[in-house]
Structure 1
Amino acid sequence: MAKEDDAELLEVSGRMVRISSPSKAYFTRGVHLTKLDIVRYFLAVAPGALRGIQDRPVVLKRFVNGAEAEPFYQKRAPSDLPEWMRTVTLSFPSGRTAEEVVVDDAAGIAWIVNLGCMELHPHPVRTGDLDHPDELRVDLDPQPGVAWTDVRAVAMEVKALLDELGLVAWPKTSGSRGIHINVRIEPRWGFTEVRRAALALARAVEKRCSLASSKWWKEERHGVFLDYNQNAKDRTTCSAYSVRPLPDARVSTPLRWDEVMTCDPADFTVLTVPDRFAKIGDPHAAMNDYAGVLDALLELAARDESEGLGDAPWPPHFRKMDGEPARVQPSKSRVSATRKKPAQPGGENPEPAAGPPKKGRRQPAMPLIVIAQSPDKASAEAGLERWKQQHPEAAALLAPDDILVDRMRGASYVWYRIRVNLRHIPETLRPPQGTPDPDDDPTRAWRETREES
């Protein structure tokens, strides 16, 4: 290791990697860690981290000001990419393309971590075949108020189903409140078919387990949501050994199945995982040896479709897909109701009221109001607390899953919208929709321009 001005030069995999501002604080609210500490962590677990990221295009999620500031997403490779790192041209649903970074060795990991990439976000494809994923991803996303024991129970139900279908599953903590289950597959199916298989899996688990939900819209979910859309093209999840921006520097950690029902995600941090890795190695070391096929899951999908259960909503930035239902949240669905006269004596059918029904009027299926929206999550959460103080009677009646925190993702940024479902509040006590506080919607100017054109 050598010093160069305010930088450290590390020799990694036979290459020199420059770490700028190595003493820059990355975590301060719980543990205290610098950028160099994060780099050293990744080098300690590099063989495991490479297993999830190697030979794949990577979206750079950059925490340039540390874990306590908002990150931004960068799809295109930086202009100062070292000559020993490579890129691959990836196409997106929008029709655009980008040269994305590919990591081949531990030096590559150190280089992107120097850019602030603590969460590693690889696509589920290899550079030799960008159209056919070699991984099916099951993202278990607990809704507000759902206990960790419920997440683990749903994970075991997923394993039981995948076992029955002849697929080998590999669990890991998400590094937050959920669990990720990855399945290596033969690269024979396109993104649409892999997502179709993931949707069939989510629906099958939902039928078997009352704790599970396959519903896309947050207001319809309960328990643990199986996010099938993580398998759509251009979607990524954090890979194994990623560091999450929580105060304790928690890590998305591979598990053995016999650990799932007893583990605590808080046990796996930047400070503890290197020792675990040194003692037991990587529980997912054999993952690449078990590439399965999707035939059984696609048969489940075909059965669902034959019974009238078609496609489910896609992510909002995708074009409307064939067979997809209306992409509008239930609370904003358009309802045309025909008013009827009271039944006449003698049981005659009532006739419609005079005049045609009004079309296109939005009738809210659920009483949702927007409380706050901001690029800064803390500011949005502070707005929610102010709303609760202004409406204490209503706030006291809210269930945990009545508060919907939407993490909205743009091309290179994220922002947060907080909504409240007033379903448990009597109509006489329901606060009206007011101006969100704060009301910083970064898409507003774009939407207004589009509406004017």
Structure 2
Amino acid sequence: MASTAVTLEIPGPDGEERTVRVSSPDRVVYPDDGVTKLDLVEYVLAVAEPFLRWSGDRPVALERYPKGLADKPFFSKNPPKGAPSYARSVMCTYPSARAHEQLVLDEPAMLAWCVQMNTVTFHPWPVRAENNDNPDELRIDLDPQPGRDFADAVEAAFALKELMESLGFTPFVKTSGNRGVHVYARIAPTREFLDVRHGVIGIARELERRLPDLVTTEWWKELRGEKVFVDFNQANRDRTIAAAYSPRPLPGAPVSMPVAWPQLRDVTPPDFTVRTVPGIVAADGDAWAPAPGESMNDHVGDVDAAIALWDADVERGLPELPFPPDYPKMPGEPPRVQPSRAKKDAP
């Protein structure tokens, strides 16, 4: 028998109360861990302050699992039907040149409502709602390939930290919630997405030169080998990675968790779950805002320093790199043909 709906009263702005109805609160979302829909609502409310600090006021896509993780998800880019009156959205332009509204998160009740709509993972854009063509976050995704693991991504992250600091950035780090590591830096929103992507490629290529046995920028999986891939295409328009503090749809109910650099080598992804993170945040606070003046928001870098690496590589003859397959053909882009297939099809 279906469980009885639960109605929550959640504080809103200016002393207002928001009402969020959670249907089927006992429905199990994580079948191996017993985490229910209500558990996820309580989790996002427990971490709402740091969650909204980093993902609020940004267009966000919702990765939704209407039947739990046992079934396939879908992504909501348009605001879901039935959004409350206090929900905010903003018009976003996509690589196809189409434009439509996308949800913006402003308050804890919106997090709870998104979970009520079966959201597990939140995917914010690296832009602010009022200027969503110019990223204000530099995001670098370190993705260990088969044969490598989280510890390898951590080692790549420390080398990346040193490189970024030499370029004037102040990097912050989080676990991906899976096997990888995400490194962020705040940047002034002075450049559009393609420029920022080129800056990420410039950094990635320099990191690859410094750690050729560990790091790769090869887009095609068959060429990556047992290395840590720097996923430069996550810097594209309409490409996102899991939000800080967002649950991930994996066994154990893991969370993509901000971590202080001195702690990074001592943690593992399973340390951070929807059951453990509220207590960690309550005890230790937000690792990306540990004290006044130390928040990521207090350290804004200039992406031109990274773009200069790209420009230098272009002068040396290095080409543009492939774009995601659903993108329109981009200027200077190499053929989107898997290398093994290209050899097979060659006359």
What's the secondary structure of 2:229's corresponding residue? strand
Supply the distance in 2 between the matched residues of 1:117 and 1:134 (Cα, whole angstroms): 25
2:331 counterpart of 1:333: no
> Deviation string for 1:343-383 (max 9, x for gaps)?
xxxxxxxxxxxxxxxxxx447xxxxxxxxxxxxxxxxxxxx
Q: Is the 8 Å Cα contact of residues 42 and 110 (structure 1) preserved in structure 2? A: yes
Q: Which is greater in Rg?
A: 1
Supply the distance in 1 between the matched residues of 2:139 and 2:265 (Cα, whole angstroms): 20
Partner of 1:282: 286
- Greater relative contact order (CA < 8 Å, ≥ 6 in sequence): 2
Partner of 1:144: 146
Equivalent residue in structure 2 for 1:102, among 101, 104, 107? 104
Equivalent residue in structure 2 for 1:324, among 322, 325, 333? 333
Partner of 1:24: 27
Gaps of 5+ in 2: 12-16, 290-294
Partner of 2:309: 300
Moved over 4 A (4+): none
What's the secondary structure of 1:183's corresponding residue? strand
Gaps of 5+ in 1: 336-360, 364-453
> Deviation string for 1:119-153 (max 9, x for gaps)?
11011111110110111110011101213221111
Supply the distance in 2 between the matched residues of 1:50 and 1:308 (Cα, whole angstroms): 42
Aligned length: 333
Partner of 2:41: 39
Supply the distance in 2 between the matched residues of 1:266 and 1:200 (Cα, whole angstroms): 32
1:372-411, aligned counterparts within 5 Å? Answer: none
Q: Is the 8 Å Cα contact of residues 52 and 122 (structure 1) preserved in structure 2? A: no
Supply the distance in 1 between the matched residues of 2:81 and 2:74 (Cα, whole angstroms): 17
Partner of 1:53: 55
Deviation of the 1:49 alpha carbon? 1.0
Give the counterpart letter for 1:121 in structure 2. H
2:221 counterpart of 1:218: yes
Q: What TM-score do you get using the length of structure 1 for normalisation?
A: 0.72
2:307 counterpart of 1:309: no
Supply the distance in 2 between the matched residues of 1:163 and 1:38 (Cα, whole angstroms): 36
Give the counterpart letter for 1:44 in structure 2. A
Deviation of the 1:67 alpha carbon? 2.4
Supply the distance in 2 between the matched residues of 1:35 and 1:362 (Cα, whole angstroms): 53
Supply the distance in 1 between the matched residues of 2:73 and 2:188 (Cα, whole angstroms): 33
Partner of 2:126: 124
Q: Is the 8 Å Cα contact of residues 68 and 245 (structure 1) preserved in structure 2? A: no
> Deviation string for 1:106-128 (max 9, x for gaps)?
11111111111121101111111
Supply the distance in 2 between the matched residues of 1:305 and 1:41 (Cα, whole angstroms): 46
Supply the distance in 2 between the matched residues of 1:77 and 1:282 (Cα, whole angstroms): 29
Deviation of the 1:334 alpha carbon? 5.3
Supply the distance in 1 between the matched residues of 2:117 and 2:149 (Cα, whole angstroms): 35
What's the secondary structure of 2:130's corresponding residue? coil
Supply the distance in 2 between the matched residues of 1:61 and 1:274 (Cα, whole angstroms): 22
Partner of 2:263: 259
Equivalent residue in structure 2 for 1:270, among 253, 256, 274? 274
2:274 counterpart of 1:249: no
> Deviation string for 1:319-362 (max 9, x for gaps)?
11111112211112258xxxxxxxxxxxxxxxxxxxxxxxxx44
Partner of 2:67: 65
